[in-house]
Amino acid sequence: MTSPRRKHQNADATYPGWLEEILDCLRTDKSVRKDFDNGGRLHIDRPLPFLSVHIGKGREDLAARDIVAANASYLVVDDIKEALPILEAVGAVLGERFGAFLLLDIDELDHDTLITDDAPYLPPFEIRIASTDDVAARKAATALAEGTDIRQVKFRTPRINRFAIKADSQAALIAGQTGFPLVAVRFAPIYRQPESRSTYPDLRERLVANIFDAGLKAFAAFIDATQSLKLTTHRALGRKAFVDAVSRADRSIDDVASSFDFLLAVTPINTDAAWQAFKADKFKQEPRFLYRPLSVQVEAEKRKLFSVAFDRFEDPALYHLYREKQQELDLQLSLISARETGRFVEYGRALYGPVEPSLYRVAIDILKKTAALAGDGDDVESDPQTANCSEVEAAAHVMIADYQRQYQGFAAEIELRDDLPSGMLVSGERLLISRQTLMPRGRVHALLSHEIGVHLLTYFNGSAQGLRLFRSGLAGYEGMQEGLAVFSEYMAGGMTVGRLRLIAARVVACSAMLEGRPFAETYGMLVGEHRFGPVAAFHLAMRLYRGGGLAKDAIYLRGLLELLSHLKSGGALDPFWMGKISASHFEVMQELSLRGLLKAPVIRPAFLTHSQAQARLDKARAGLNPLDMIIS
C-alpha cells in the first residue's frame, strides 16, 4: 500500500474531549455522528480511507451539501477553520489504519456563467476538477471527471475543466494544512434559474445523484491505486446504515399504505347475485356491483402522505424509492376515491398503464393456439375433481406450516370470507379465501404457490429487511410480483392450458375495457370468440370492470414476459425474494445489498425444491415462450 502524501504535521497533538471520543470510535470500528453549530455534522458510518467535505460559508440549500451528505463518510461545517483540525485528526487515524486517505472537497461555483434566462439553446455547464500531485489523487480526479457523464441529468451536458489546486484558496488551504491527497470539484449551480435563483427540483435531484455516484467512482479509483481496501464495485462504498429520518419516514409511509386495502376496496361484495341478475337479463344489462363502504378518509391520508419529509435522508437511492412510493400511494388513494365514477378508469390507466400492442399480440396468439385444447373454464361443484374452499384452506394450512418450520416469522393468517368472489387473494399477512371458491383439485398446489410462495413470502422477507417499504412494496412492484407468481405455478408443475388462456384473456378483455366497450360486449367476446364458459367469462369481465374499470389484470402476462426476458438475459431470481420489488428496481436492490442495507432472503420459495424445478428454470434461462410453460 502507498502511504498518505505526507504524515500528519503534529502527530502528538491533543484535541478537545469530543474529538478524542470520535477518534476512539474510529479506532474501535464504531460509527460517528456528531452535530455542530449552523447545521454542521461529521458522519462516518464505518471507517473508510476517505472523507467527503463541504464548507458552507453561511450559504444555505446548496446541492453540494446534499452530495457530500449522501456519503458514508463526510464532514459539513460552516467555516474552514472549524474543519481543519477535524480533517487532520480524522485523517491521521484513518490514514494510519488504511495506509492511505483521500479528501474530496465539493463545492459550487457562484454562478452558472454559460446560460441566461433567454438563451435560445441549452449550453454545456462547467465542472472544475483539481487534485494534488500524487498518483492516487490524480487517478481519483480522472475517475471523477469520467464519472460526471450527466446524461441522466438531461438538458445540459458537462464541460470538464481542470485547474490547479493553488488556484482555489479553500482547496489549497486544506491540502497544505492537512497534507493528505485531495480532489476538489466545483460545479455550476445549473439547478437554479439564472435570474430568480429559484430551483428546478428534478434537475437538482438528478445532479446530486450523478455527482455523488461520480464521487464514489473517485474513491474507488483511489482505493484501487493504493490497495487500501478490497473492493468489488464503487457502490459498495455507500452507506451501510440509514439515518433516523429514513426510519421515521418509513413508518409514516407505511401508516398511510396500511390505512386502506386497495384490492378489497375495489372488489365487489355481491358477485354471485350480480351474476344471477346478469343471467336473468339474458346477458345484456350492465351488472350492478356493490362495494364495501370506504373506511379511509382519503383527504386526511393524502395530507399525512405529503407531510412526510424526505429531505434529511442523506441517501439518493432511498430518497427516490420513497418519493416513487409516495406518488404511487397518492394515485391509489385518488383511484379508490373515484370508485364508480368516470375518473376511475383513467386513474387505473395511469397506475397500471395501457395494453401495449405487443402485449395484446402475445395474448391473442396464446388464445388462438390453445383454442382447440381448452375447456370452457367453468368449475362445477359436483365434479369429483373440483376442490371447494375447505379443501383449499386445509392445503393452505399445510403449506404455511411448512414455511413456518423454516422461519418462525412466517406468521400468515387464513380467513374464509363471504364477501369475495370465487378464489383467493393476499392482503398483508392474510390469505383471504372466498367461501364460493371452486377450482380443479390439481390446481390447488400451484395456486397456493402463487399466493403463499410468492405474495406472502415476499411480504415476510420484506418485513425482515428493517424497512417496511419492502413488505408493502416498492412503487410499481405488482407487475413483476404477479409475473413471479404466475411463473411459480409453472415451477410447481401446475401451469395448465386453461390457466394460461385465462391470463391471456385478461389482457384482451382489459384492452376492450380501456377502449370503452361495455361489459356485456366484452362478456360476449369472451364467450363467443374465445370459448369461455358463462361463469368464467363473467368473473373475468367482473375483474376488469370492477370499480368503474380496473386495468390491473393486464399485469399478469406483462409481468411474466418481463420475468422470462430477465431470466433469458442471465438475470438472477434471488433479489426478487428480498421483498416486493419491480424489475426497474433490480439495480438499486443490488446496490443496497452491496452496501449491506438489505439482507439475503430469510426464506426461499418451496417450489424451487420441486423435483423438476431446476430443469424448468434452465429452460427459462435458455429462452421460454409462455406456451412452452404448459404442463397439462
Digit-coded pLDDT (tens) for 457-472: 999 999 999 999 999 9
Give the range among 111-115, 370-374, 503-507 with minimum mean pLDDT: 111-115
The side-by-side arrangement of strands in the sheet containing 424-427 is 413-417, 430-434, 424-427
Burial of residue 565 (CB within 10 Å: 0-12, 13-18, 19+) is middle
Give 274's contacts (C-beta < 8 A, 6+ positions apart): 268, 287, 288, 289, 290, 542
Q: Kindly state the average pLDDT of the residues 578-593.
A: 90
Contacts 24+ apart (CB under 8 A), 29-37: 31/241, 33/243, 36/77, 36/78, 36/82, 37/78
Residue 281 confidence (pLDDT): 94
Residue 378 confidence (pLDDT): 66
Q: At 119, is the pLDDT very low, low, confident or very high (cuts 50, 70, 90)? A: low
Output the DSSP codes for 561-587.
HHHHHHHHTT--SGGGGSSS--GGGHH
Burial of residue 365 (CB within 10 Å: 0-12, 13-18, 19+) is middle
Residue 116 confidence (pLDDT): 63
pLDDT surpasses 90 at 156: no
Q: At 258, is the pLDDT very low, low, confident or very high (cuts 50, 70, 90)? A: very high
Residue 122 confidence (pLDDT): 74
Burial of residue 357 (CB within 10 Å: 0-12, 13-18, 19+) is exposed
Q: Kindly state the average pLDDT of the residues 502-519.
A: 98
What average pLDDT does the chain have? 92
Q: Kindly state the average pLDDT of the residues 253-267.
A: 95
Q: At 452, is the pLDDT very low, low, confident or very high (cuts 50, 70, 90)? A: very high
pLDDT surpasses 50 at 69: yes
Q: To which H or E segment does residue 43 belong?
A: strand 41-44
Give me the residue label for grid cell 458510518: 45
Q: How far apart are CA 523 and CA 516, in angstroms?
A: 13
Residue 9 confidence (pLDDT): 46
Digit-coded pLDDT (tens) for 592-612: 998 889 999 999 999 999 899
Q: Kindly state the average pLDDT of the residues 131-154.
A: 86
pLDDT surpasses 90 at 117: no
Contact between residue 75 and residue 83 where contact means Cβ atoms under 8 Å apart? yes
DSSP β-bridge partners for residue 432: 415, 425
> What does the block give as the cell for 106?
465539493
Q: To which H or E segment does residue 17 belong?
A: helix 17-27
Digit-coded pLDDT (tens) for 334-367: 999 999 999 999 999 999 999 999 999 999 999 9
Give the range among 103-117, 239-253, 378-392, 458-472 with minimum mean pLDDT: 378-392
DSSP H helical segments within 473-575, as ranges? 477-491, 497-514, 519-528, 534-545, 555-568
Q: Kindly state the average pLDDT of the residues 548-559.
A: 97
Q: Where along the chain do its domains lie?
A: 17-239, 246-269+296-374+475-629
pLDDT surpasses 70 at 76: yes
Residue 44 confidence (pLDDT): 97
Q: Which residue has the higher pLDDT, 591 or 416?
A: 416
Q: At 272, is the pLDDT very low, low, confident or very high (cuts 50, 70, 90)? A: very high
Q: At 477, is the pLDDT very low, low, confident or very high (cuts 50, 70, 90)? A: very high
Q: What is the 8-class DSSP label of residue 294?
A: P
Residue 150 confidence (pLDDT): 56
pLDDT surpasses 50 at 3: no
Taking the mean position of all CA atoms in its chain, how far away is CA 71?
A: 20
pLDDT surpasses 50 at 232: yes
Contact between residue 461 and residue 579 where contact means Cβ atoms under 8 Å apart? yes
Residue 8 confidence (pLDDT): 47
What percent of the chain has pLDDT above 90? 83
Q: Which stretches does DSSP call E strand in 395-469?
A: 413-417, 424-427, 430-434, 438-440
Residue 392 confidence (pLDDT): 97
What percent of the chain has pLDDT above 70? 94
Q: How far apart are CA 43 and CA 70, in angstroms?
A: 10
Q: At 148, is the pLDDT very low, low, confident or very high (cuts 50, 70, 90)? A: confident
pLDDT surpasses 90 at 13: no
Contact between residue 238 and residue 591 where contact means Cβ atoms under 8 Å apart? yes
Q: At 376, is the pLDDT very low, low, confident or very high (cuts 50, 70, 90)? A: low
Residues in the chain: 632
Give 233's contacts (C-beta < 8 A, 6+ positions apart): 220, 594
pLDDT surpasses 50 at 274: yes
pLDDT surpasses 50 at 368: yes
Residue 121 confidence (pLDDT): 65
Residue 246 confidence (pLDDT): 95
Q: How far apart are CA 590 and CA 566, in angstroms?
A: 15
Class at the top of the CATH hierarchy for domain 17-239: alpha beta
DSSP H helical segments within 163-243, as ranges? 169-178, 201-226
pLDDT surpasses 60 at 153: no
Q: At 91, is the pLDDT very low, low, confident or very high (cuts 50, 70, 90)? A: very high
Residue 373 confidence (pLDDT): 82
